[in-house]
Amino acid sequence: DVKVTQSSRYLVKRTGEKVFLECVQDMDHENMFWYRQDPGLGLRLIYFSYDVKMKEKGDIPEGYSVSREKKERFSLILESASTNQTSMYLCASEIAVRGEQYFGPGTRLTVT
């Protein structure tokens, strides 16, 4: 089975802190994604990557950056956390053009 893991299930950070969310997949998938999920807004794409060192902005990239130095690992970085970035963050991966995305368990981030 495909496995996508995320570094933390729950995280509490202070406003202004730099936050790293890590995602690792074990199936050699080309594409990896970061979404956030908020009540009433559904899942929204932040960034995605279709190859090592390649990235593209999603719908809401402001305040975030990403890093993909190895194929299996995709990191989401909040340069200076703000309270409006309190959310559930979900990582996903997929084989290119296969169309099935596999999600991690999510990280619930609270910024105080």
Partner 1 sequence: DAKTTQPNSMESNEEEPVHLPCNHSTISGTDYIHWYRQLPSQGPEYVIHGLTSNVNNRMASLAIAEDRKSSTLILHRATLRDAAVYYCILRDVGSGGSNYKLTFGKGTLLTVNP
Residues in contact with partner 1 by CB under 8 A are 4, 31, 33, 42-43, 45, 48, 50, 56, 58-59, 90, 92, 97, 99-106
In the complex with partner 1, the residue whose CB is nearer, 17 or 56, is 56
Provide, rounded to whole angstroms, the least separation between the CB of residue 97 and partner 1.
Answer: 6
Residue 82 dihedral angles phi and psi, to the nearest 5° = -130, 160
In the complex with partner 1, the residue whose CB is nearer, 85 or 101, is 101
Provide, rounded to whole angstroms, the least separation between the CB of residue 7 and partner 1.
Answer: 14
In the complex with partner 1, the residue whose CB is nearer, 17 or 51, is 51
Provide, rounded to whole angstroms, the least separation between the CB of residue 16 and partner 1.
Answer: 28
